[in-house]
């Protein structure tokens, strides 16, 4: 029975990726400059919504995730099932939303892609608080605990969780943004020699890695599908703009001078 469930999950995943390819092929090209491509991968169901089968994917409706429409206003989304040289080829921007544990080969591919000029927005929540229609243990449920220590350590980041931290949603602020969090983790960048600096103490780090960069948020509450925070959409806009558009750099500021904690 376990083998059967695994086979069905693999078939469903393959079918969903085929459906994505077909949908992208039919999408009209907008007038003027085409939208930049944004690779998207993670256990939070942004692209497919909280769907259990093909019928629900096609029906959309209540299972759709609000963040997909928000992102598609500025980017052409490309859902990824794995990270390797082929899947990352031609992609300048990547968003990882509470991803599963990466294989050693995927860690190498991601690191090489960032160092080659890729720009990453990573939601890494050590204690996910969002609701899901799927029970604990169901593979369709977002991953409750992030498992990315190898790549984070390689970039000079240490992610921890304080069990005594008070529960409940709150806002953390950087210049130009108010970001909703709930039981966030704690990021340590050490002495900063690894190329990383904190934009919001403990919660939001920005790293220069080779020719690329990574913006890492130690929480994913703003991506809650059910009853999202009223400020979630604006916070996602700011984070995506920070990670991908380089708004601060256009004002002549360097990577670490674009924002400061308030």
Domain assignment present for residue 218? The answer is: yes
The candidate with the shortest Cα–Cα distance to 132, out of 28, 44, 241, is 44
Q: Residue 147 sits in a domain of what CATH number?
A: 3.40.50
4-17 pLDDT, tens digit per residue, is 333 333 334 434 44
Domain assignment present for residue 101? The answer is: yes
Q: Over pLDDT 90: what percentage of the chain?
A: 56
Domain assignment present for residue 130? The answer is: yes
pLDDT tens for the 262 residues of the chain, in order:
333 333 333 334 434 444 443 344 344 444 446 899 999 999 999 998 775 444 544 444 457 899 999 999 999 999 999 999 999 999 999 999 999 999 999 999 999 999 999 999 999 999 877 555 554 555 666 667 899 999 999 999 999 998 877 778 899 998 878 999 999 999 999 887 789 999 999 999 999 999 999 999 999 999 998 888 899 999 999 999 999 975 334 333 434 443 333 3
Alpha carbon distances (Å) from 223 to 6, 49, 56, 102, 258: 27, 12, 20, 21, 24
* pLDDT reported for residue 219: 95
What predicted TM-score, i.e. pTM, was given to this entire model?
A: 0.79
* pLDDT reported for residue 165: 79
* pLDDT reported for residue 167: 78
* pLDDT reported for residue 49: 79
Residues 65, 66, 68, 69: is their CA dihedral positive or negative?
A: positive
SS (H, E, C) 128-187: CCCCCCCCCCCCCCCCCCCCCHHHHHHCCCEEECCCCCCCCEEEEEECCEEEEEECCCEE
Sheet holding 119-123, edge to edge: 76-79, 37-42, 93-97, 119-123, 212-217, 204-209, 196-200
Give the span between the Cα atoms of 149 and 173, in whole angstroms.
26
Domain assignment present for residue 73? The answer is: yes
70-120 pLDDT, tens digit per residue, is 999 999 999 999 999 999 999 999 999 999 999 999 999 999 999 999 999
* pLDDT reported for residue 256: 42
Domain assignment present for residue 26? The answer is: no
* pLDDT reported for residue 115: 97
Total number of domains in the chain: 1
Domain assignment present for residue 258? The answer is: no
Residues 36, 114, 101, 199: is their CA dihedral positive or negative?
A: negative
Q: Which range of residues forms the domain containing residue 103?
A: 2-18+34-250
Domain assignment present for residue 188? The answer is: yes
Domain assignment present for residue 168? The answer is: yes
* pLDDT reported for residue 130: 59
């Amino acid at each position: 029975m376990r083998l059967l469930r695994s086979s069905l999950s693999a078939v469903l995943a393959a079918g969903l990726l085929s459906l994505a390819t077909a949908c992208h092929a039919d999408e009209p090209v907008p007038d003027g400059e085409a939208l930049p491509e944004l690779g998207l991968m993670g256990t939070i169901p942004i692209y497919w919504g909280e769907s259990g089968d093909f019928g629900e994917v096609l029906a959309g409706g209540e299972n759709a995730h609000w963040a997909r429409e928000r992102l598609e206003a500025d980017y052409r989304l490309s859902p990824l099932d794995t990270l390797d040289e082929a899947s990352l080829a031609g992609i300048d921007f990547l968003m990882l939303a509470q991803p599963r544990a990466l294989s050693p080969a995927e860690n190498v591919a991601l690191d090489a892609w960032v160092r080659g000029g890729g720009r990453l927005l990573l939601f890494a929540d050590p204690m996910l608080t969002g609701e899901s229609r799927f029970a604990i243990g169901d593979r369709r449920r977002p991953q409750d605990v992030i498992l990315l220590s190898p790549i984070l350590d390689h970039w000079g980041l240490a992610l921890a969780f304080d069990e005594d931290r008070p529960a409940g949603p709150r806002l953390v602020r950087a210049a130009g943004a108010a970001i909703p969090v709930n039981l966030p983790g704690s990021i340590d960048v050490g002495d900063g020699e690894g190329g990383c600096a904190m934009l919001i103490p403990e919660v939001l780090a920005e790293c220069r890695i080779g020719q690329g960069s990574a913006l890492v948020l130690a929480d994913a509450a703003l991506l809650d599908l059910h009853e999202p925070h009223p400020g979630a959409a604006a916070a996602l806009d700011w984070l995506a703009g920070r990670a991908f558009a380089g708004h601060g750099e256009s004002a002549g500021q360097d990577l670490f001078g674009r924002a400061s904690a308030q």
